Amino acid sequence: MNNHPTRRENTMSRLMVSVSGVRGEIGRTLTPEIAAQFGSAFGTMLGAGATVVVGRDSRPSGPMIRSAVISGLLACGVRAIDLGLVTTPGAALMTGELKADGGVVITASHNPLPWNGIKFLRPTGLGLSVEAAARLKQIWESRDYAYVDPARCGTETTNDSTHATHVGKVLSIVDVKAIARRRFKVVLDSVNGAGGVGTAMLLKKLGCELIPMNAEPTGLFAHTPEPTEANLTDLCAEVARCGAAVGFAQDPDADRLALVDEHGTYIGEEYTLALCAAYVLGGRTGSAAANLSTSRMIDDIAARHGGTVFRTPVGEANVAGRMLEEGCIIGGEGNGGIIDPRVVPVRDSMAGMALVLAYLTATGRTLGELVGDIPRYAMIKAKFPCPADAAPKVAAAARKQYAGRKGAAFNDSDGLRIDLPSGWVHVRASNTEPIMRIIAEAPARDAAEALVEEVRQIAEPFVKG
């Protein structure tokens, strides 16, 4: 049986294999057989005798994919520790806490229900390096697995301490008593994902009056799981209805966080990093890191506090790696991903919530007032289906067209980012979906929309071709 994507699948439903791991549609491009193969490939790469922690989000296909991956690991003599249903940052944390040689998270993050995925972690909890991801893919493609004889098969154990361990680490970075004295009323939408249980533990320990929404981890998402404005109308209405101080929205694996203010207004994912950075950089001297698609709000905040922002290609591992290299004290991505290295060097919605509540506590102001202190920009995010080989052609054509623009500067470390006096635009292929993204930011919405439309027109003939 040929388990590689067909030509038809290469455009829309292909198996996505990248530095971010593996994603596909269950029963079509991601099957138990393929999951077992990737478990075998990871086990081969790490070697017999290695230890790997395995966690999953709440998708109904999760137990199936987890079992298949673990079977591949065991066949290569690897010891598997099943963490059960946990968040991605929780699994990353436990990879280090249990001194494992690697980790696996069964999740498709914000992708809709038909999808699932397999994310591979280093001992630190970070995603694989580009080199390691390429090595894993090569082993999978060659089917050259290092299976052991039956007497040396790996063993499987369980560990149920992830939520408590994660909550403890998050609590260690804030003044718990001060926050608890405020008795914040908080609405939490966990979209029936992995975040509901651990986050409820955290917010209760912070003295919050918790109003949960979609808390049961069924994996049957109550709304489209990406925490964007269009998908969070119920959360906004509930915050306004009950007079909460803040609304928090997670994605299914709880590594992303979106905010709603006290009026029920969607603040958005870009402000998550900006607000957390404002709090952290306001109290400690240091630098920050963010990817190329993240708002310039982080640059304004860092400049206000005498800090520096290091820009990286899109991808959690890229940002976290640069943070470790530069000793950054805060970082993340504009998709609501906060990285506080004191907890775990990956995106973590629970750390983000604690930092936002600490900021509200320290200032005595409302979330809406704190947002008003940050310079405002208009950001437009567009995406559309894209053949796998079109992205570099689009980037080359865009660079050629903008080369003559006055003040244009280019960064091609990840697709192409074009900085202009009037704003910036970033075009790149997604690592996790068969799409191309165009993101633009400018002081005014019409200017940002114009940048997106210009690049879309450049891309159109290559996408159709």
Residue 13 annotated to the active site? no
Which string of b and e fits 200-237 if b means at least 16 CB within 10 Å? bbbbebbbbebbebbbebebebbbebbbbeebbeebbe
Do residues 254 and 87 lie in contact, with contact meaning Cβ atoms separated by under 8 Å? yes
Which of 115, 117, 122 is closest to 100 using CA atoms?
122
Residue with tokens 């310039």: 296
Phi then psi for residue 424, to 5 deg, are -145, 160
Contacts of 368 (CB under 8 A, 6+ apart): 261, 262, 263, 265
* Catalytic hit among 13, 40, 67, 109: 109
Q: How crowded is residue 153: how many other Cβ atoms within 10 Å of its Cβ?
A: 17
Rg of the chain, C-alpha, whole Å: 22
Structure tokens at 113: 């229900």
Amino acid in position 283? G
For 155-261, list the strands marked E by DSSP. 156-158, 185-189, 209-213, 246-250, 257-260
How many Å from the N-terminal Cα to the C-terminal Cα in the chain? Answer: 30
The span from the CA of 143 to the CA of 145, in Å, is 6
Q: Tell me which residues are annotated as active site.
A: 109
